[in-house]
Structure 1
Amino acid sequence: MKLTLTTQFQQFLLAHGLDLQQILAKTQLTYHLQDETLTMTPLEYYRLTAAIDAQITDEQLLAISDVSQIQLFLPPMFAALSASDGLTALKRFAHFKQLIGPVTAEVQELDQTISVHFAFLYPNQAQTRFALLMEQYLLVSLLRTGSGQRIQPLVTAGPFAYHTAGVAFLGGIQSPSSRNQLIFSKAALQQPFLTENNVMWDFMAPTLQQRLAEVTTTTTFVGSLQKILFTAIPAGDFTLETVAQTIGMSTRSLQRSLTAEQTSFKQQVQTVQRLLAINYLALDNVTPTEIAYLVGYNTPSSFSRAFKQWTGQTVSQYRAAMRVE
């Protein structure tokens, strides 16, 4: 996937204390920001949001989620603001969501309410606090910017705590939950948008549709394999033979395809195991022993040794550091 990061957007982040080049350097990703684009796999995107999450303050998070400030940097946001009302804007936002990152927005419409659930592109892959809260703040800011009204969710649910300023910004009820969700009154979203611009929408729509088609069809073999592993590893059935059969190819062909992308099946299994383990560690009700089995290890001790190799820390040290942050 390709992310567009204009020089102006980089300067906007820097003005709020976020040096994108320094953050990218910490992720050990290859980047060429002078081209104003960043090409990465979904898992590399996850690593980027995790690096930002470790550095960003709650005040910075709110500041960079102001749609009135960033709409020109994100064409899908501008397209949503051109809609006739909040409900149309929300559906347009969800449709083009993957142009901003490998995150989907599931919209459920009932008689009186509209709910929105954000999910990372791969199953079983939780989002970082930064990634989820920014999605929720962005959507609320979008609806308020377009309508000129203080639209607020009736309920905001998620696994992370909302700081004082975040609670004041969202309004409504904040509910701790393993499943993230924003619930809006349908009547509130049917208010007309002051920013409606049909001429601009007609101009932008073909280009956005073309870009979306490119994003959703251009997937590396590694990306496809990782998506399968995110489901297969917690299920405990992720041998080379089983995964090859799931993909519909021989084990030899699978290995050749991975070699062509300069990796191996073992490396990909360990990559997904590490990310799953880190996600499970964020859940206080899951013990290290349970995590070991969930990520495919037969004994807690073998998992502990592998985790120390991956992160340079013990499981308890890593979980303690997460709580401090």
Structure 2
Amino acid sequence: MNNPSADHIKIAPGFWTSLRKIGVEPLDVARQARLPLTVITEPLVTTAQYYSIWQAYAEIVGDIAAGIVELASTYETAQYPPDALATFHARDYRDALNRMARYKRMCPPENLRILEQGDQCSIELEWQHAELPGPPVLVGITLAYLLELGRRGTGHHLKARSVEFMHPMGDVQALEEYFGCRVQTESDRNRLTLNCEDLNRPFTSYNEELLKILTPALERTLDERQSQLTISDKVKWILSRCLTRGRFDIQTIALELGMSNRTLQRRLTEEGVSFKQLLTTTRREMAIAYLADPALEIKEVAFLVGYEDQNSFYRAFRSWTGKTPANWRAAQENWRSALVTE
């Protein structure tokens, strides 16, 4: 199994096949994304290209909610990549979700955090390594796929308990019909909440022999990827999750890493960086990522990267890039437009 780097994502062949099934031509998506048509046949794309493809799909479909429901319902199980195939053949829904969360660590760009409390299970979607935040349609597809996995595996039309999205999602009623529950938009997180009793349902697709073959290979790949991460990488990843919540001091990060402040500082010094430098780098990377999304206002971007006032963000961004946020965004749009003529 290939192990793409943090900035190289492998698009499953089933994605393009599924698009054709719902009447969307891959060539049209590539053109709308302003990318070379070879993106359809190339096995790996950058994170920015990956997001552009999803955004283009949403624009062609016309409504984010419709695009989510159509594609999630159409995607064929046989087209799943190995890590997803292992989840489909899990023992039960809980086992499938835990496997999905575990193996997502080696498949950028999203990361899943699962928490069971009482009679409910919440699955929160986050972005790995301070990479670009995914477009709303990708967020929706990811959460819809998690529910679709349970439906196909158990053979029951399961319903979610609640669904939350950070951004507007188009026809919310269509999403509520699909998920079978209330859908909240403009929340502070992207989260799917399930009933714990559904997690105990066995999978009719359970295949013990296939799992014995797939699991060792996936675990080796995961171990290799984890061993390649430096302390700096891990700090940046945690920071990317904490900025909007106002918890990004070194004490918070050290606690999440299971070490003392002194130990964390020593490990970072050994790698030739400081916590302050990593905080600045993470903020810069995330600011650039958010600004690439024209739907986000600059004041929203300032908040998302941990600045309480917009003026402080402007000063910081100019020191990083030599441009104001508005000028940087305009320059990127000009660059994207130039790709069309190439």
Alignment of 1:11 with 2:17, yes or no, is yes
**Cα shift at 1:171:** 1.0
Matches within 5 A, 1:47-58: 47-56=52-61, 57=63, 58=65
Maintained 8 Å contact 1:307/1:313: no
Partner of 1:146: 153
Partner of 1:259: none
Change (3 A) 1:230 1:185: closer
State how far apart, in whole Å, the 2-side matches of 1:30 and 1:127 are.
22
**Cα shift at 1:155:** 1.1
Matches within 5 A, 1:263-302: 272-277=286-291, 282=296, 286=300, 292-293=310-311, 295=313, 297=315
Alignment RMSD? 4.7
- Structure 1 residue ranges without an equivalent (≥5): 238-244, 252-265, 315-325
Partner of 2:257: none
Matches within 5 A, 1:35-74: 37-40=43-46, 42=47, 45-56=50-61, 57=63, 58-66=65-73, 69-74=76-81
State how far apart, in whole Å, the 2-side matches of 1:267 and 1:288 are.
15
Q: Which moved more, 1:206-215 or 1:143-152?
A: 206-215
- C-alpha offsets along residues 179-225 of structure 1, whole Å, 9 cap, x if unaligned? 122111111221121111111111211222233334445569x9889
Aligned residue among 211, 221, 224 for 2:221: 211
**Cα shift at 1:141:** 0.5
State how far apart, in whole Å, the 1-side matches of 2:311 and 2:285 are.
16
Change (3 A) 1:30 1:10: closer
Maintained 8 Å contact 2:33/2:55: no
Alignment of 1:183 with 2:193, yes or no, is yes
**Cα shift at 1:282:** 3.0
State how far apart, in whole Å, the 2-side matches of 1:178 and 1:50 are.
21
Change (3 A) 1:292 1:85: same
Matches within 5 A, 1:99-110: 99-110=106-117
**Cα shift at 1:25:** 8.3
**Cα shift at 1:276:** 3.7
Structure number with higher relative contact order (C-alpha < 8 Å, ≥ 6 residues apart): 2
What's the secondary structure of 2:114's corresponding residue? strand
State how far apart, in whole Å, the 1-side matches of 2:95 and 2:110 are.
19
**Cα shift at 1:53:** 4.5
Q: Which moved more, 1:286-295 or 1:65-74?
A: 286-295
Maintained 8 Å contact 2:121/2:194: yes
What's the secondary structure of 1:106's corresponding residue? strand
- Number of aligned residue pairs: give it: 292
What's the secondary structure of 2:72's corresponding residue? coil
Identity of aligned residues (%): 15
State how far apart, in whole Å, the 1-side matches of 2:166 and 2:178 are.
18
Matches within 5 A, 1:23-42: 23=30, 26=33, 34=41, 37-40=43-46, 42=47
Aligned residue among 136, 141, 166 for 2:175: 166
- C-alpha offsets along residues 75-128 of structure 1, whole Å, 9 cap, x if unaligned? 222211211211111111111124543211101012311111010013596432
Alignment of 1:115 with 2:122, yes or no, is yes
- Structure 2 residue ranges without an equivalent (≥5): 250-266, 274-279, 333-342
Counterpart of 1:129 in structure 2: which amino acid? Answer: P
State how far apart, in whole Å, the 1-side matches of 2:39 and 2:75 are.
27
State how far apart, in whole Å, the 1-side matches of 2:56 and 2:236 are.
21
Change (3 A) 1:107 1:250: closer
TM-score normalised over the length of structure 1: 0.69
State how far apart, in whole Å, the 1-side matches of 2:99 and 2:74 are.
15
TM-score normalised over the length of structure 2: 0.66
Maintained 8 Å contact 2:20/2:26: yes
Aligned residue among 81, 84, 90 for 1:77: 84
